[in-house]
């Protein structure tokens, strides 16, 4: 289940993601709902952006694991934030938390600042897709 | 074409969606463009949020049906709203309209509030993906 | 690798996209990260919206080509803009640039106005997915 990362020189070296990822469609597709920093009681675990990022990504991995997948099976992540300044100012910490959960697997990503997330206390929501071995 | 829903206990029980959904990739993939509450003349059918949600989702199902799919083939929905307060205040009605079109099939979902939709009169846009039997 | 476009009469004729697109999942899936109008040094090439659209889409095609794909293999595009008014006012030019890169292949699309893109100078980000021949 090896994926091929696509990072053309002409786009410059991506930091923390890949410009493209090719997966054989012979496996199974896992669609992961947007995850925020909810605990089991569906309460946001912290006001802190980095802690929220950590938990939201942990929740993505929880779904992935429950489906029998591993971090290296993720093909796409979409990160919705409510404050891009906060994201930028704490990029280093975000990167540490990322690697804690997903190691050095960097799939295709999107990051946009939205006008709001459904839970007013949420600062980040992460959606994912994975291709699992058949 | 049975999908496996992934709802880990540690994430709490999701209401109206699933945390994860696994589909065999042996079928066909249907990508559905973002649908708003347009009628055949591409005019928004109502100012009312719930009526718009109803029509946008009906349009998703129109595309799905035209491709030979059924509600239970949907694997992913992304709901873009312009006012999350309105969505929250009318969740019960939204749920009724949801079940009217898709029954009790709850795929992976994302819901975010965006800064705007292309048609100024639109209050909700719904994108979908489905995996159809081969 | 022929895709089936789904454009039900009851939704009206889509302009510059398709309401639905069906792809056989026997090929390979390409996930393309959100592309902005960066040059090789990762600097935005122009302040102008249309020039940015042109370059962001060119970057999408760069990833696609590096993966061995062609424009007609794209199944889904998501266009995030920071100013929908600008997009609307320059739709004709946007269409010209679109056809320059992707010809008359119109996959399923989403376009939303977001609150912000990570690079403050970016006015548009384009994410893509493609299904490539096996």
**CB-based contact A10 C114, cutoff 8 Å:** no
pLDDT of residue C1: 58
All partners of chain C with 3 or more CB pairs under 8 angstroms: A, B
Integer Cα distance of A12 and A8 in angstroms: 7
pLDDT of residue A52: 98
B31 and chain C in contact, CB less than 8 A: yes
What A86-89 contacts at long range (C-beta under 8 Å, 24+ apart), as own/partner pairs, is A86/A49, A86/A123, A87/A49, A87/A111, A87/A124, A87/C118, A88/C118
The complex scores an ipTM of 0.96
**CB-based contact B12 A40, cutoff 8 Å:** yes
Nearest-CB residue to C29 (from A19, A25, A78): A25
Cβ-count burial of B43 within 10 angstroms (0-12 exposed, 13-18 middle, 19+ buried)?
Answer: exposed
pLDDT of residue C26: 73
CB proximity under 8 Å: B 109-128 to C: 114-118, 125, 127
The pairing of strands A20-24 and A28-35 is: unpaired
The list of chain C residues with pLDDT below 70 reads: 1
Mean pLDDT by 10 residues, chain B (134 residues): 88 93 87 97 97 98 96 97 98 97 97 98 98 89
**CB-based contact C114 A110, cutoff 8 Å:** no
SS (H, E, C) chain A: CCCEEECCHHHCCCCCCECEEEEECCCEEEEEEEECCECCCCCECCCCHHHHHHHHHHHHHHHHHHCCCCHHHEEEEEEEECCHHHHHHCHHHHHHHHHHHHCCCCCEEEEEECCEECCCCCCEEEEEEEEECC
pLDDT of residue C100: 97
C76 and chain B in contact, CB less than 8 A: yes
Strand partners, A4: A22
Residue B132, helix vs strand vs coil: strand
pLDDT of residue A1: 58
- Which position has the token pair 């938990």? A55
pLDDT of residue B2: 76
SS (H, E, C) C43-60: CECCCCHHHHHHHHHHHH
Mean pLDDT by 10 residues, chain A (134 residues): 88 93 87 97 97 98 96 97 98 97 97 98 98 89
pLDDT of residue C104: 95
A84 and chain B in contact, CB less than 8 A: no
């Amino acid at each position: 289940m090896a994926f091929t990362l696509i990072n053309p020189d002409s786009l410059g070296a991506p930091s923390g993601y890949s410009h493209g990822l090719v997966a054989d469609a012979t496996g199974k597709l896992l669609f992961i709902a947007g995850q925020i920093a909810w605990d089991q009681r569906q309460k946001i675990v912290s006001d802190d952006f980095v802690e929220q990022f950590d938990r939201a990504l942990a929740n993505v991995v929880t779904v992935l694991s429950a489906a029998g997948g591993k971090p290296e099976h993720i093909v796409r992540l979409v990160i919705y934030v409510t404050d891009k300044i906060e994201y930028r100012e704490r990029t280093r910490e975000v990167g540490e938390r990322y690697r804690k959960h997903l190691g050095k697997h960097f799939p295709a990503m999107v990051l946009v600042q939205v006008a709001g997330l459904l839970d007013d206390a949420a600062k980040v929501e992460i959606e994912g897709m994975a291709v699992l071995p058949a």
